[in-house]
Amino acid sequence: MPAATGVAEAAAVLRAGGLVAFPTETVYGLGANALDGHAAARIFAAKARPSFDPLITHLADPAELAGLVGAVPSLVAALAERFWPGPLTLIVARPAAVPPIVTSGLATMAVRVPDHPVARALIRAAGVPVAAPSANRFGMLSPTRAEHVAAGLGDAVDLIVDGGPTRCGIESTILDARGDRPVVLRLGALPVEALVEAVGPVDVRPGSSGQPVAPGGLAAHYAPRTPLRLVDPPPSATAPRPDDHTRGYLALRERPAQPYGAVEVLSPDGDLTGAAARLFDALHRLDATGVTEILAERVPEAGLGRAINDRLRRAAATWQPPA
Ligand code: TXA
Ligand code: MG
């Protein structure tokens, strides 16, 4: 954790309308004052993010929600009470204080309280809610280390607060709990099973509407520069090829026998929480090796495995098999 002066300086940059990248428990965020439309506009420019993709507003404390938004539906309030601070983003009505650019003109706003001491200290010191998408260029891999932010955004960000690698490694789960039956808009670091245990059945519709409402819901997203293809484990089932040394392999637990040029194992004991924490970091590393293709194993579709598979599917979505 950086010295308090680091946080104070970063808070001053936010208050002055600047962009600060900061750690959360999920991924690094690219923050701006959520009450300042010009500052928020700079986020879209820095990320080359389309203006139709709304931002998440971050608060320092759960109690600030009522002050910013006013009355919230009782289920939303109960979920905030239960899971904040933490990797759950909730949909509420956009308050008048938040300029429409933050929500891409939507009448709704995504909001969460991150479970990270640096993030919370920063937001508290800034004294304003902080709009922050993941601190990567649009469509690329999310950053789980300050180095990823520096490599991806460079001078487009005014300041990077380095809090070391992030704990969860994938983005927050986004839930719309305003209606009778909550809808998961993005699979993420809070497993669906935890939500079901808290509130009963939920619908899971990540990006299924065809509308980019939640989107990390866009079909192609979270992509490394290297083409990525999903394969089924075990690695021995993947046919060897003479050019295996030019390919990279992302395994859940077992090292493949083939002589791949680069291999990353997410979690030797198969633990999906640990695998999620290392997912983007491993993809960043494979991407940097210069391999021509990354083969990525599907993981079990349960718990955080659902969010991991979701990220891998979207990363693979731009890849076209050779004709
Ligand atoms: O873990 C996280 O959520 C990280 C950290 C920094 O908090 N942030 C993050 O932000 O992943 P971003 O911008 O990469 O993803 C936010 C997603 C976008 O796909 C956006 O479409 C969706 O949230 N979103 C934002 N506002 C929304 C709204 N009002 N309704 C539905 N989806 C919304
Ligand atoms: Mg993102």
Q: Give the per-residue pLDDT at 218.
A: 61
SS3 category, 102: helix
62-78: per-residue pLDDT in tens? Answer: 999 999 999 999 999 99
pLDDT category at 58 given cuts 50, 70, 90 is very high
Write out residues with Cβ below 6 Å of ligand 1: 24, 26-27, 29, 53-56, 87, 89, 91, 103, 106, 108-110, 114, 132-134, 171-172, 174, 185, 213-217
Give the ligand 1 atom nearest the CA of 49.
13
For a pocket test of ligand 1, which of 57, 134, 136, 176 has the largest count of ligand atoms closer than 8 A to its C-beta?
134
Say whether pLDDT at 113 is over 70.
yes
| Residue ranges per structural domain of the chain | 4-204, 228-315
Average pLDDT over residues 189-196: 97
Say whether pLDDT at 259 is over 50.
yes
Q: How far is the CA of 2 from the centre of ligand 2 (A)?
A: 24
CA of 139, nearest ligand number: 2
Q: Which CATH superfamily is domain 228-315 in?
A: Threonylcarbamoyl-AMP synthase, C-terminal domain (3.40.50.11030)
CATH code for the domain defined by 4-204 = 3.90.870.10
Token pair 């260029």: residue: 137
Q: Give the per-residue pLDDT at 217.
A: 57
Indicate the average pLDDT of the chain. Answer: 92
Give the ligand 1 atom nearest the CA of 170.
1
CA of 23, nearest ligand number: 1
Closest listed residue to residue 22, CA positions, set 41, 2, 40, 36: 2
Q: How far is the CA of 134 from the centre of ligand 2 (A)?
A: 4
HSE-up of 223 (CA within 13 Å, CB side)? 18
Say whether pLDDT at 317 is over 90.
no
Say whether pLDDT at 11 is over 50.
yes
Q: Give the per-residue pLDDT at 237.
A: 82
Q: Return the amino acid letter for 183.
A: V
Give the ligand 1 atom nearest the CA of 217.
19
Domain 4-204 shares a fold with domain 228-315:
no
281-306: per-residue pLDDT in tens? Answer: 999 999 999 999 999 999 999 999 99
Say whether pLDDT at 208 is over 50.
no
Residue 72 Cα distances to 88, 93, 100, 111, angstroms = 16, 8, 19, 12
**E strand residue ranges, the chain:** 20-22, 29-33, 56-58, 88-93, 108-112, 130-131, 159-160, 173-176, 183-186, 203-204, 228-231, 247-251, 262-265, 293-297
Token pair for 170: 């994938």
123-168: per-residue pLDDT in tens? Answer: 999 999 999 999 999 989 999 999 999 999 999 999 999 999 999 9
Please state, as a whole number, how many other Cβ atoms lie within 10 Å of the Cβ of residue 13.
20
Q: Give the per-residue pLDDT at 280.
A: 97
SS3 category, 259: coil
Q: Give the per-residue pLDDT at 15.
A: 98
Q: How far is the CA of 280 from the centre of ligand 2 (A)?
A: 12
Average pLDDT over residues 228-251: 92
Token pair for 102: 């933050």
CA distance 69 to 32: 18
Say whether pLDDT at 210 is over 80.
no
Q: Give the per-residue pLDDT at 206.
A: 80
Q: How far is the CA of 33 from the centre of ligand 1 (A)?
A: 16
Q: How far is the CA of 292 from the centre of ligand 2 (A)?
A: 24
Q: Give the per-residue pLDDT at 212.
A: 47
Give the ligand 1 atom nearest the CA of 212.
21
Average pLDDT over residues 264-279: 97
